[in-house]
A and B are shown apart, each in its own frame.
Chain A
Amino acid sequence: MTALGRGLLAAAMVTLPFWLADPYYLHVVIMAGIFGVLALSLNLLLGYAGQLSLGHAAFFGIGAYTSALLTLKREWSFWPALAAAIALAAAAGWIIGRLALKLRGAYFVLVTISFAGVISLVSVNWIELTNGPLGLPGVPAPDLGPWSLRTKAAYYYLVLAAVALSYAVCRRLVRSRIGRAFVALRENEPLAESIGVDVTHYLVLAAVVSAAMAGLGGSLYAHYTRFVSPEVFLFTYTVTMVIMVVAGGKGTLAGPLVGAVLFTALPEALRLAASWQWQMLAYGSLLVLLVFFLPRGIVPQIVASFSGHPRSAPTSRTPLQ
C-alpha cells in the first residue's frame, strides 16, 4: 500500500464515528475490531509459528471472565482489570505452550481443544465464581480518566487503539529475528534448530503473545457487551477466528484484519436474508471452498495478481509429524 493509501485509511478510521452515525453500523465495526484483535492473535500462532490452536476461544474467554469478575466482584476499574485479563490469558498460553511443546499437528490441535473444553466446563460448573450458565450481567463500561467510554463512538476508539496496538506488536515481531524464528519453525523445524533457533523458547513465546492478545480481545468484548457467559468459550468463536485468518491470508499482516472485517460484515448482511443455521451452513461450505479455490487467502492472492507473479508468500506448508 502506498503512503497515500495508508494515510487515507488512517484518516478514514479516525473519523469513522463522524460519518458513520448509525449505531448499528458502528456496532458491526466494533465487533469487527474485536475479532480483528483475535484474528491477529491466532495468526501469530497459526500463520507464523505454524501451530493450529483450536482452543483459542479459551484465551478469549479467560480474558473476558477475568475482566468481568475483577470489575464486578472486586470492583477494580477497567484498566487494571484489562491488564490482569491479558496477564492471565498469557499465563494460560504459557501453560499450553509448555504442555504442547513436543506435540505437533493434530496432537497440538487436540490438546488445545481439550484445554478449551475443560475451561468451558469449569465456567459452567463453578457456579459460586462464574454464576454458571446464567453468566455475569452488568459488566461495567470502562472509564478513561474523567470520561466514560459508555457510548459506541467512544468504545470504537478504544477498540481501534487495541487493533492498532495488536497490529503494531505483530508487525514488529514479524519483521524481526523473532518473527523469522517463528517462520523457521513453521517451515522446517529440524533445520530451524540446526541454525540455532531454540524451539522451546520461540514456541512458548508465540503461544504467550498470541494468548495475551486473545485475552485483550476477551476483555474488550466483556466490557462492550457488558455480559459474559460460558458462551464465550463456544467453539464457534474459535472457528470464526480460523476462518478469518485462513480467508484473509495466514502468515500475512493484513490478512487477519481483512478476514475479520469480511466475516463480521458478511454474517450481518446475511442475517436479514437467512437464518443462523443457513449462515453457519454457508460458513462451513465456504471454509471448504476456500481451501479448494483460495488456499493462500485473499491478501496473498491480491498481492500476487498485482505483482504479476507468485511471490514468496507462505503457503500451507507446515512441518508436521
Chain B
Amino acid sequence: MDQLLQHLVNGLVLGGTYALLGIGLTLIFGLMNVVNFAHGEFYTLGAYVAFAALTLAGVNFIVGILAAIVAGAALGWLCEVTLLRPLRNESIDTTMLVMIGVWIAMQNGELLVWGGVAKSIPHPFPTAPLVMGPVAIAPLRVIVLVLAVGLIASSWLLIHQTKLGRAMRATFQDRDTAALMGVSIGRVHAATFAFGSALASAAGALLGPVFLAYPSMGDLASLKAFSVVILGGLGNLTGATVGGLLLGIAEELGAGYISSGYRDAVGFVIIIMVLVLRPSGLFARQERIG
C-alpha cells in the first residue's frame, strides 16, 4: 500500500510533463492535421536549452525554463512558416514525411552540438527528499509538478479565454468556415505550432533535470505524446491532461509491479489497445478542442 502511494506520486510528476507534451501535440495534430514526429525533438531542445542556460549562462532555474519555452516557440514558429505553410494543402502523408525529416535532422544536429554523452542538468533545490508519511519525494519533483500544473492551467486559459484561443477553436471545428469568418488560418497555424512546440520544450526543460539530457531522449517523448493524444482524443485538452497523468501513473505502476525493462512498453500497448478497441479515444464523446 505504501509502495502504491509512492508510485502514484512519482507517476503524477511524470504525468504532469506527459500532459504538457500531449497538449502540445493534440493541438498540432488536431488543428493542423500534421502528424508531428518532430514533437519529441522540441522536448530535447528544451532540455538542452535549459542545460545551456543553467550551466553556460548560469541563470536562475526559472529563467532557464523560460528560455526553453521561448526557444521552443521560436523554432516551432520557424518550422511552421518555412516547412508546413507551403504544404498546407498537401496530404497528411506528405507533411508526415517532412516532419520525419525534421526529426532526424534535429536529433542529429543536437548530437553534433552536444555529443552523445548524457548531460546532467543542475538545479538549485536540495536533494534530500521530503518525507510525508510513507511517501518520499525530491523537492525538485515537487517544483516540476507545480510548474507543469501551472503551464497546463495557462494553456487552458489561452484556449478558453483569449481571442487567439477562440480562433484556434473555430479553426479546429471547421477551417473553411473559420476562414470565412475572418480568422487568419496562417496565423492560427503558426501560433498553434509555436505554442505546441513551446509546451514540449517546457516539458523537456522540466524533466531534463529530473533525469538526464541526451540527443535521443525525444524519441520516447514523441511516443508518449502520441499515446497521450490517442488516450485523450484528438484536440481534447482535458483528455490530454487526464491522459498524461494516467500514462505517467500507468508507467510507474508497470515499472514497479511488472518489470522496469517494460516501462516504455506501457505507452506502446496503450496506443495499440486504444486504437484497436476505441479509436476515438478513451474520453472522447466527440472530437473537439478545448
- Indicate whether A and B are direct neighbours in the complex (CB within 8 Å): yes
Q: How far is the CA of A184 from the CA of B230 in the complex (A)?
A: 28
Contacting pair A107 B279 (CB below 8 A)? yes
Q: For residue A109, which residues in chain B have a CB less than 8 angstroms away from its CB?
A: 35, 96
Q: How far is the CA of A289 from the CA of B63 in the complex (A)?
A: 36
Q: For residue B86, which residues in chain A have a CB less than 8 angstroms away from its CB?
A: 292
Q: Which of A66-110 contact B (CB under 8 A)?
A: 99-100, 102-103, 105-107, 109-110
Q: For residue A129, which residues in chain B have a CB less than 8 angstroms away from its CB?
A: none
Contacting pair B98 A291 (CB below 8 A)? yes
CB of A304 within 8 Å of the partner chain = no
Stretch at the interface among A158-166, A167-175, A280-288: A280-288
A172, chain B: closest CB distance, angstroms: 26
Question: Given contacts A107-B279, A121-B268, A242-B97, is CB(A288)–CB(B83) below 8 Å?
Answer: yes
Of A114, A281, A286, chain B has the most CB atoms within 10 Å of the CB of: A114
Question: Given contacts A111-B272, A281-B109, is CB(A125)–CB(B97) below 8 Å?
Answer: no
Contacting pair A105 B93 (CB below 8 A)? yes
Contacting pair B275 A239 (CB below 8 A)? no
Question: Given contacts A291-B97, A316-B90, is CB(A239)–CB(B104) below 8 Å?
Answer: yes
Contacting pair A107 B275 (CB below 8 A)? yes
Interface size class of B (residues with CB under 8 A): 35 or more
Closest-by-CB residue of B relative to A285 is: B105
Q: How far is the CA of A286 from the CA of B104 in the complex (A)?
A: 10
Q: How far is the CA of A110 from the CA of B35 in the complex (A)?
A: 10
Of B29, B100, B223, chain A has the most CB atoms within 10 Å of the CB of: B100
CB of A246 within 8 Å of the partner chain = yes
Q: How far is the CA of A146 from the CA of B172 in the complex (A)?
A: 67
CB of A25 within 8 Å of the partner chain = no
Query: Would you call the interface of chain B mostly helix, strand, loop, or mixed?
Result: helix
CB of A157 within 8 Å of the partner chain = no
Q: Which of B82-102 contact A (CB under 8 A)?
A: 83, 86-87, 90-94, 96-98, 100-102
Q: For residue B268, which residues in chain A have a CB less than 8 angstroms away from its CB?
A: 114-115, 117-118, 121
CB of A318 within 8 Å of the partner chain = yes
Chain A: residues with Cβ within 8 Å of the partner, total of 41
Closest-by-CB residue of A relative to B271 is: A114
Q: For residue A118, which residues in chain B have a CB less than 8 angstroms away from its CB?
A: 265, 268-269, 272
Closest-by-CB residue of A relative to B116 is: A277
Q: For residue B6, which residues in chain A have a CB less than 8 angstroms away from its CB?
A: none
CB of B108 within 8 Å of the partner chain = yes
Q: How far is the CA of A236 from the CA of B52 in the complex (A)?
A: 28
B87, chain A: closest CB distance, angstroms: 7
Contacting pair A291 B272 (CB below 8 A)? no
CB<8 Å pairs between A and B, sample of 17: A52-B93, A105-B35, A109-B35, A109-B96, A124-B261, A125-B261, A239-B104, A242-B97, A280-B108, A286-B101, A287-B101, A288-B98, A288-B101, A290-B97, A291-B98, A316-B94, A320-B91
Seen from chain B, the residues whose Cβ lies within 8 Å of a Cβ on chain A are 29, 35, 83, 86-87, 90-94, 96-98, 100-109, 111-112, 219, 223, 226, 230, 259, 261-262, 264-265, 267-269, 271-272, 275-276, 279
Seen from chain A, the residues whose Cβ lies within 8 Å of a Cβ on chain B are 52, 99-100, 102-103, 105-107, 109-111, 113-115, 117-118, 121, 124-125, 235, 239, 242, 246, 277-278, 280-281, 283-288, 290-292, 295, 316-318, 320
- A-B contacts besides A113-B271, A239-B104, A284-B107, 4 pairs, CB < 8 Å: A121-B268, A278-B108, A284-B108, A292-B98
